[in-house]
Amino acid sequence: MKNIFKTITLALVLVFCSFLSYGQQLKTYTNKNYETSCGVPGTLTYTYYEGSNGDYVKHGKYSVNASETRSKYWSRTLKEYVTSSTKYSASANFKDGWLDGTLTVTVTNTESTASKKGTSISSLTANFKDGMPHGAWKMTRTTDGKKTYSISANFSNGVLVGSFVLNDYLKGQFDDDGFYTGKWIGKNGRSENEYNFTNGVYVALYERKDGKVIWSSPENDDEKELYKKFAERQMTREELEESGYSVEITSANLLGTEGPEFMNTILYEGNDCFGLSAIGGDKTLDRKRSEHRVMGKYFRITKERDVKVFKTGEFERYARGIEYQLKNVFFEDKEQLSSATALWQGYRVSQEQKDILTNMYNQYVQEWRPAKLQRAAEEKRLAEEARQKEIEKAFKDFASTALDKIVSVSSKRADMKIFGPDVVIAVDYDNDRIWSELFLQ
């Protein structure tokens, strides 16, 4: 009996806390005129509480059920009339406006003729935690029961981790920080590409045909050894740069047209019409471009082109030139000076020289640029004051001239009156002749 009492008490406390959290009981929103991202009509239903700004904050169950049967049309290819239909269903759970738990979406397309019926089904299971992709994601596409496409991936707080499989075309894995690691294999018919990553560094590519290497990158043994040494941390970044190479973290597509970043097209804006952009509740969704950026990252080593080395005394002149530019030019474009490295781009410099240029850049950000912004604001204020004075002077001159004309014609115009010392006038504004006589002559 005690246990039952404790259970009931706990349930009541949880319900009470829920009311306190949202300030009101959850309500249900239903839109029977909803359209999916592909224009299929249906019903949207979700539970919500009202936010401080009046928005409905999704909390609890979310579902969409939509279907459409399109008009029969004549197919020149099949030489038959075709009837097509689409069914869309989505279910998810939201927590304080963000996806939390498992999201499932199924899209079924059917085409029927008098002689046959074809069905394609696209399905997605995606896991979230507090609005971040978290856990297993799986997408499949079948046509008449046969699997034609699939993606299997894993996330940890919005970052791709662990194994990744795209069809039988691409297989590999990510480390816990979202970097490519180990071997990635991409297959296309008789051809196979093997990509090698060590500690997140892209070190080699082997292109094979029927098992025989027909091309590899890097193409010479010295570069392969250099890549390997840097990846295995036997060479510092400074030593790599002194050898005429640079390294950067990038997420540029390396694995052909269907790498992990291809998930963006498939899941968010693709032909499968999952419509994750419309569902929302994903913190990693790019609001401006309405797409999700699902991709891995890696360190890319590149050979510097036309790397210059400062001669004796040359760096001092270069540094003075940079200082002059920073003090006198107002850099509004962030890309112009996004980091201190922009100051020595194209030059091989020592750590001491890097420190000098970095300190200069920091001084620009902390002192010189704020001073320029303040001067620019003051100049704008003074210019506005001068403009206002010009406008006032022009108006006074205009009013003085107009007043002289008003006084000269007022005694002859019955539809014009002059009141008081401030010369408030009332005229027939529809009379173009009087208006022209007063102000335009």
pTM score, whole prediction? 0.63
Domain residue extents for the chain: 24-299, 307-383, 400-440
- Which one has a higher pLDDT value, 151 or 397? 151
Q: Which token pair is 189?
A: 């018919």
More confident residue, 411 or 150: 150
Q: Which residues pair with 160 in a beta bridge?
A: 155
Q: Give the per-residue pLDDT at 123.
A: 95
Residue of 408 and 96 predicted with greater confidence: 96
Q: Given this model, what pLDDT does residue 305 score?
A: 63
Q: Which DSSP letter does residue 343 get?
A: G
Which residues face 291 on adjacent strands?
286
Question: Binning pLDDT at 50, 70 and 90, where does residue 149 land?
Answer: confident
Amino acid identity, position 342: A
* Whole-number pLDDT of residue 306: 57
pLDDT of 12: 45
> What's the token pair of residue 361?
């850049």
Residue-wise pLDDT for 328-345, tens only, equals 777 765 555 555 566 776
Higher pLDDT, 227 or 319: 227
Q: What is the pLDDT of residue 227?
A: 94
The pLDDT score that the predictor gives to residue 394 is: 77
Max alpha carbon distance in the chain (Å)?
Answer: 108
Share of the chain above pLDDT 70, in %: 75
Cβ neighbours, 10 Å, residue 376: 11
Determine the pLDDT at residue 13. Answer: 43
15 or 259, greater pLDDT: 259
| Cis-peptide, bond into residue 218, ω within 30° of zero | yes
The answer to whether the beta carbons of residues 216 and 206 sit under 8 Å apart is yes
Q: What is the mean pLDDT of residues 300-316?
A: 75
Which residue carries 């400062």 as its tokens?
Answer: 310
Instruction: Answer yes or no: are the C-beta atoms of 158 and 174 closer than 8 Å.
Output: no
Most confident range (mean pLDDT) of 3-17, 144-158, 251-265 is: 144-158
List, as one string, the DSSP characters of 378-415.
HHHHHHHHHHHHHHHHHHHHHHHHHHHHHHHHHTT-TT
What is the pLDDT averaged over residues 374-398?
84
Give how far Cα 116 sits from Cα of 73, 78, 80, 109, 163, Å: 15, 11, 10, 14, 39
One-letter amino acid of 360: M
